[in-house]
Amino acid sequence: MSLLPICIYPDPVLRQKAERVKNIDNGIQRLIDDMVETMHNAPGIGLAANQVGRPLSVLVIDIQRDESESGLIVLINPEMVSARGETTFEEGCLSVPEYFASVVRHEEVVVRGLDRRGEKIEIAAEGLLAIALQHEMDHLEGKLFIDRISPIARDIFKRRWKKKSKEEREETLLCLD
C-alpha cells in the first residue's frame, strides 16, 4: 500500500464525473487499499477516487473513532436508492483544506453498490454515515460540498481561497529569494 496525493481545489479532476468500474481487478483492489491508507493518514473519514486523481466510481468511508475497530466501507458504483428528511451538518473536505461550512443534506439514505469483492451491498444510513455517503457520492458526480452552500457563502469562500492562494504563492517566492 502507498499514500496517494490528494487533489486540492480547484484541480479539474475534482469536477469530473467518475466512470463506472466494469471490472474489479488487481488495479482496483490496489487503488482501494491505497485510498484507505491515504484517508486514514490524512486523517479523514471518507475519500472518493476523484480526490486522488482517479475519476472512477469508488469510495471508502471509515467513521469509527476507536482505533481498535474498523467501520470501513468500500463502495464501487454506488447509487442512491432512497433518501428522506433533512439535516444540516458542518462539513469539511480533504480536497478543500481548512474550510468548513454548514451543508443541508438528507437525514437518512439508502445506498446500493458493490463491495470490493464485487458482491451487491445495500446500506441504510443516518447521522454521520448518511452525511459521509452523500458527501463522497457527490465527489463521484464532480461536485464539492462548496457547491451546496448558499451563493453568498460560496462567493465569500472563493474570495478567501483566492487571497489565501495568492499569499501562499508570495510566500513561496520569498522563500526562493
Q: Kindly name the residue from 136, 167, 168, 171 that is annotated as catalytic.
A: 136
pLDDT-derived band at 66, boundaries 50, 70, 90: low
CB contact at 8 A, 44 and 78? no
pLDDT in tens, 76-89: 999 999 999 999 99
- For 122, other C-beta atoms within 10 Å of its C-beta total 9
Cell numbers given for 85:
428528511
Long-range pairs for 82-89 at CB < 8 Å and ≥24 separation? 82/109, 82/110, 83/108, 83/109, 83/110, 84/108, 87/130, 87/131, 89/128, 89/131
91 catalytic, yes or no? no
**Res 166: pLDDT:** 79
Which pLDDT does position 71 carry in this prediction? 87
Burial class, 104, CB count within 10 angstroms (exposed 0-12 / middle 13-18 / buried 19+): exposed
Per-residue pLDDT band for 144 (boundaries 50, 70, 90) equals: very high
Helix (H, G, I), strand (E, B) or coil at 96: strand
Give me the count of residues in the chain.
177
Please provide the average confidence, as pLDDT, over all residues in the chain. Answer: 93
The structural domains of the chain, ordered by start, are 12-149 (3.90.45.10)
Question: Residues 17, 55: contact at Cβ < 8 Å?
Answer: yes
Does residue 106 sit in helix, strand or coil? coil
pLDDT at 67 over 60: no
Share above pLDDT 70 across residues of the chain, in percent, rounded to a whole number:
92
Is the pLDDT score of 31 beyond 70? yes
Q: How many CA atoms lie within 13 A of 156 on its CB side?
A: 8
CA pair distance 154, 111, nearest whole angstrom: 28
Of the given ranges (15-24, 53-62, 76-85, 161-170), which has the lowest mean pLDDT?
161-170
pLDDT of residue 149: 95
E strand intervals along the chain: 46-48, 58-61, 73-84, 87-93, 96-105, 108-114, 120-126
Q: What is the dihedral of CA 107, 111, 133, 2, to 10 degrees?
A: 170
Distance in angstroms (rounded) separating the CA atoms of residues 38 and 33: 9
